[in-house]
Chain A
Amino acid sequence: MMDRSRLAKIREMARRMRRNVIELAFKAGPNGAHLGSALSIIELTATLYGGIMRLDPRKPDWLDRDRFILSKGHGSLGLYTALSEVGFITRDQLFSFEEDGGELPGQPSMKQAFGIEFSSGSLGLGLSLGIGSALAGRRQGRDYRVFVLMGDGETNEGSVWEAAMAAAHYRLGGIVVIIDHNGMQSDGCNASIMSIDLESMWKGFSWQTVIVDGHNIESIYCALEKAGRQREGTPLAVIAKTVKGKGISFMENNNEWHHNVLTKARYAVAVAELEANEKNP
């Protein structure tokens, strides 16, 4: 049953997260940040942390918590801002992003106290880790779910498909892969770099698939709400159609913003756009 107020809450959460992504990227200064790929997953992580996942920020090592693995580690701002929203980390901790020797580097470094399950950054590794977590849950008779968020370009990695075949073979119904399908990767469009049909690939590996609008919270929520509670079954791949750099006009579908430095002038434009959108959603 769709809970309207819950959806509204997640929308508000996503709005704040997007704003924080811009603030954090600006704060990162000359280090720069992976903006495009964080902005494309905001609604996905907001929905997971704001409405789907079973979590207790007071007990980050709770054995029955749902697990989230950011396989596309460069989307870290999409994760850190969500962790801050639900209380795994404080705002001060969030704003330690990319500090020298800090706990929140450009790509996540495992820290259970912060709700960061695994270190990531090198692509194509998250699903294998997720299979291990899911197999452990099955052994222990727990019904937690394992959500693995990966990029569409990331699926170029062969290790993704080693893991995809294994999850289906082991019948890990508790695993949900979410693919941030923004159609772009580091060197350009998926179609020109390595064109694959994600839906038929995942189907071919015996997964269930569903395609959603990756910026429509209701659509994401409906796809994820009932997914993954069964320990035995067919794993689910959610192909989320997204826009790289979503929400900031000059970043949208512009690969210059895959990783870039946000200057003061650009920051001001981005903030003005977000504030205008808040007034006229």
Chain B
Amino acid sequence: MITINPINARNWSRLGPRGTFGLDLLDMGSQDENLLVLSADLCTTSGLDRFRLAYPDRFINTGIAEQNMLGIAGGLAKEGYKVFCSSFAAFASMRSYEMVKLNLGYMGFDIKVVGLAAGFAMGMFGNTHYATEDIALMRAVPGLCIISPADCAEVVKATRAATLYDGPVYLRLTGKAGNPIVYQNEYEFEIGRAITLREGDDIAIIAAGRMVYESIEAAKLLEAKGISATVIDMHTIKPLDTSVIDRSLDKKLIVTVEEHSVIGGLGGAVAEYKCGLKTAPPQLILGIEDRFKKAGSYKYMLEQNRLTALHIADSIMERIRQQIRNGAVKPFSANGNWEKDLSMITK
């Protein structure tokens, strides 16, 4: 049994989310002989070499054929196996989307689709390899659980939880080797139960995946500017933990942050819940705007899309200034001069 401690957290971060997933799946595989793993010619890239070498008869390479991979998974799951299928998120979620709808959704088979390198992690591979629509797609499939771990330690937690979960899961892995660390000690992880990482009075930032770390850092920047922010790791995007939103209804603003299109992702899920409430704070949806941009390195893409801590903090301050000017929120500031305090960090 792998445990979370500062040394492991550091090692996993170096290994990156894919390698960490592979490592934990090896551990889960040793505990469950019914666990089978399928890959569409991305075994090594998926961090699955360890599993393949340890359990060659439980690893199936389907060639570069994601649709067939999901179909075969359906047949195996029907016969009682727990099946993991992994590929880059762009392909796992989109090339084989109909098979996900039918095999994981309609027929409800116990299949775990692992979307690797979601968001911009494929860097210079470009837009064909970015997965910025996958949450929207997967959310629309009835009965499908969607987990997006914040860091590599949470990849371990999520892989275990997904394995033990009796039903279909889409596991969305964001970031890359060198992922910043959010968790370095054991903690309780439960599917559908968000984790509040930081308590604040003014606003609530709800984030998923790699954006959790950026959100924590953004909250620190905001604190220096007189804004006190709660930060929530919404690792399970479906089913959404609505109780954590209920507890944030007294805030002046709810912010969602995701490495995904602003359409249909975490922001959409939170907004859909909020619109059914009598009163709720306004929401700022931070994510990838609705257009294809030129490709670049991971760092470049996060900058371009204003998804770094600095940009997140700036966007939040800008929104709060707007709300104060519109009279929606009373001026507030830790230091007494909100105009000065809420000036942009990056200016």
Contacts and interface: CB of A to CB of B under 8 A. Distances in A.
Nearest to B66: A162
Interface residues of B, number: 25
B167 to A, nearest CB: 15
B82 to A, nearest CB: 12
A136 B79 contact: yes
Interface in B72-94: 72-81
A137 interface: yes
Question: A interface, by DSSP: helix, strand, loop or mixed?
Answer: helix
Contacts of A216: none
Interface stretch (A116-124, A180-188, A235-243): A116-124
B102 interface: yes
B81 A125 contact: no
B74 A118 contact: yes
Interface string A100-129: 000000000010000001110010010111
Q: How many A residues are at the interface, by size bracket? A: 20 to 34
Contact of B79 (A119, A133, A163, A165): A133
User: Main secondary structure on chain B at its contact with chain A?
Assistant: helix
Interface in A149-176: 158-159, 162-163, 165-166, 169
Contacts of B103: 129
A135 to B, nearest CB: 6
Contact of A128 (B72, B106, B107): B72
A233 B65 CA distance: 22
A75 interface: no
Contacts of B79: 132-133, 136-137, 140
A140 B67 CA distance: 25
B107 A110 contact: yes
Contacts of B67: 128, 158-159, 162
Contacts of B102: 119, 122, 125
Nearest to B71: A128
Contacts of A118: 74, 78, 107
Given A162-B65, A163-B71, A135 B106 contact: no
23 contacts: A117-B78, A118-B74, A118-B107, A119-B107, A122-B102, A125-B71, A125-B99, A127-B71, A128-B67, A128-B70, A128-B72, A131-B68, A132-B72, A132-B79, A135-B75, A135-B76, A136-B76, A136-B81, A159-B68, A162-B62, A163-B71, A165-B65, A166-B62
Given A132-B71, A136-B78, A166-B68, 8 more contacts: A118-B107, A119-B107, A129-B72, A129-B75, A130-B75, A132-B74, A132-B78, A163-B71
